[in-house]
Structures are given as structure tokens and as C-alpha cells.
Amino acid sequence: MLASRMTKKEALPIGCGNPTFVVAEMAWAHDGSIEKAMRIVDGAADAKADAINLHLTKLLDYMVPFYGAGPGRVSGSRTTTEIYKYLEGINLSFDAVAELAAHAKARGLKVSVMCNDEASAAFAGKSIHPDILMIHPSSVGDERLLRMIAAQGTPLVIYTGALKLGEIETAVQWATAEGNGALILQHGFQSYPTPLSENRLRAIETLKRQFGFPVAFADHTDGDDPMAMIVPLLAIAMGADAVEKHITYDRAAKGEDYESSLDPAQFAVFVDRLRKAESTFGSASWRPLSDRELKYREVVRKRAVAARPIRAGTLLTRDLVAFKRCDRGLYPEELTGLLGSVSVAQDLDANVPLERDLLK
């Protein structure tokens, strides 16, 4: 759990045997509507997600007005070639994001905020007080911004999509130098949607081994593909401690990020399946057998029976014993020390269970 590395803020239940931490990623799926954003928050809460991730952006500090368009930059349903103007039209104000955060907290959700610039980071710390802060791969190389975010002492998600290992290492060094050891590394990237083969889920264990921090997986599988419900479960099996999944108010509306998003009803199914799937994992540590396992063991294990008719007084040797599934009789380990040292107390037919009271 993050508690061992926490400094200023309350620890998050991520890693060390805790249930998978589920984050509903809103991003710009609200399409600039606070009403739709509220629907998304409510959908995440109703689905029993653990947290919702909100984007906070002072757009002019985040990108230049002439930032180009093209495949993989905005959702495919958008034909605009002017990304800045498009995002400017749907970007929520700081106050609107703060309102969303307050509503999310009232619904029992943890609040994660992705800060894309220094003004956003300052506002988040002063006015939102999020449970989690996140820095996007686009900003990980911005040392001043990363240090500013890390210095707040809030658990920090370093989103590692398309970063080189050395860049991740540098980001971790900057964050820990600011006294923030409550880091989560997030694997995955958005490609509207991301092809299955690009998920590279085995990298999750590599990140955990290399850096020693919990690792989250950001899923961007095509929402129309049945694998959208399965890939995150595979990530958990590969060691992911948290899963981030895009959520939208209505997939059919084809809003921003719709390609990899689930609508609220689908998201509820996703969380339900995730919880059922993780219940199958159990602990890696060996433990006493459960009642059901003990019953299964009693039913299926072979027991000692007479291999053929045996006359009373005959010394019991291995050739006189057969091990078969039977409701009675000694188990193999119970009989081993008796062979060659005990005799049969009475005449036995073949297949009679060999029990302790039949031996002397």
C-alpha cells in the first residue's frame, strides 16, 4: 500500500493486497457541458468506481493555438483541423471542475485531477484538494511543473504512456526529491482506440520490479470490442494495482474520447465483472485449505483397499493394497508406515476399505 511511502496526505488503498482501485476517466468526454459531466460523475458513482479523474487545463499554457490536427489527436468523429479551437470550445473552467470535484466527493468518489499546466496545479492544490494528482506524458518532461505538483504531497500518478525508461526514472527522481514517495506509475496510452497488441501488459510487472511503486493500467480498448471488458482484467492478472477506464455520458453521441469509453450502464457492468474476476485470484501466499477444499479433498483422494482377497493373519504388504477412490479407508500417507509391520485382523474380500481397526 502507499502508506509506507506517504508523507503528508492520507494513504490510498492501492497495492499490497488491496482490491483493485478503479478510476473512471472523464477527460473531455463531457463535451464542454457541466450537465453531461455531472451525469458522468453520477454514472461512475453508481457503478461503484473508487475515483474519477478530471482534467484541469489553462489551455493557452498547455498548447499553442496553431497546434496541428490529425489521426490520434482527437476523437475520429471530429473533423476539425484546429485542435486548439475545438478544445477551447469544450474545456471546462476551473470553477466548473471544482464544482464537479465537490459533487464527486459528495457521491463518495475519490477525486483525481490531471493538471496540465502550472496554473492548474496551483488551483487544484488551493481550491480542489484532490485525493490524487496526475501528470500526463506530455508534461512529464516539464521538470518545474512536475516538481510543483509533487511538492503538494498528494499521491501522484506519473502517466508513463510512450515514455522511455530513462524518462520515467528521471520523473521519479524529481518527484521523490520533492519529498513525495506516494507515486503510482500508470501504463498505457490513447490511440483512438489503442490496438490490443499495443497494450504490452507484461510491462506492468517490469515497471513494478524496476521502480518498486504500485502500477496502474490505463485502458483504451475500442469500446465496441468485447475485449474492452477483458483487457483490464488481464492487466490485473499481470499485476496492475489500479485500472483507469474511460467513461462517457453516452457512447452513441460519439463525443470526445468515445472510442475507448463506456457509458454509465456499461461501466457498471465492467466494475461488477472486475470485482468478480479479482475474487478468483486469491493470495499468492499458501494458506490453510478452505472448507470447500477440505470437502473436495475428502471426496476425491484415493484410499487404501484390498487389492484381492486376503486371509486373516496375513502380513500386509504393498502388493496386497490398491489405492482407489473410496468413501472409507486409510490415505496413502497413513498406510506407508504400517506396510510390513501389521497383519490383517480378519478375512477380507477385494475392494474392502483398509481401516485401522482391520489391522493388528
pLDDT digits 0-9 by tens, 290-344: 999 999 999 999 999 999 999 999 999 999 999 999 999 999 999 999 999 999 9
Give the pLDDT of residue 189.
96
209 and 85 in a common domain? yes
- CATH number, domain of 90, equals 3.20.20.70
The answer to whether residue 1 is domain-embedded is no
Question: Is-contact 243 216, C-beta < 8 A?
Answer: yes
Question: Dihedral through CA 189, CA 190, CA 193, CA 196, nearest 10?
Answer: 0
Question: Is-contact 159 115, C-beta < 8 A?
Answer: no
The answer to whether residue 6 is domain-embedded is no
Residue 353, helix vs strand vs coil: strand
Full domain range(s) for residue 200: 13-278
CA 62 to centroid of chain Cα atoms: 29
Distance, CA of 181 to CA of 214 (rounded, Å): 11
Distance, CA of 87 to CA of 32 (rounded, Å): 9
218 and 88 in a common domain? yes
The answer to whether residue 164 is domain-embedded is yes
Give the pLDDT of residue 252.
95
Q: Amino acid identity, residue 137?
A: P
150 and 51 in a common domain? yes
What mean pLDDT, rounded, does the chain reach?
A: 94
148 and 227 in a common domain? yes
User: What is the pairing mode between strands 110-115 and 302-306?
Assistant: unpaired
336 and 217 in a common domain? no
The helix (H) or strand (E) run that includes residue 154 is none
The answer to whether residue 284 is domain-embedded is no
The answer to whether residue 163 is domain-embedded is yes
The answer to whether residue 3 is domain-embedded is no
- 53 - beta bridge partners? 25, 112
Q: Model pTM?
A: 0.89
The answer to whether residue 228 is domain-embedded is yes
- CATH number, domain of 299, equals 3.90.1210.10
Q: Decide which of 278, 307, 342 is a domain's last residue.
A: 278
304 and 269 in a common domain? no
302 and 170 in a common domain? no
How far the first Cα of the chain sits from its last, in Å, is 57
Q: Decide which of 256, 278, 300 is a domain's last residue.
A: 278
295 and 222 in a common domain? no
The answer to whether residue 239 is domain-embedded is yes
Listed as ranges, residues in the chain with pLDDT below 70 are: 1-10, 69-72, 77-81
Give the pLDDT of residue 74.
78
Q: Decide which of 255, 278, 301 is a domain's last residue.
A: 278
Q: How many other C-beta atoms can be found within 10 angstroms of the C-beta atom of residue 150?
A: 26
The contacts of residue 116 (CB under 8 Å, 6+ apart) are 55, 56, 57, 58, 61, 62, 136, 138, 139
213 and 81 in a common domain? yes
206 and 296 in a common domain? no
Distance, CA of 24 to CA of 47 (rounded, Å): 10
Give the pLDDT of residue 183.
98
333 and 217 in a common domain? no
Polymer length of the chain: 360
Give the pLDDT of residue 72.
65
336 and 205 in a common domain? no
Count of the separate structural domains present in the chain: 2
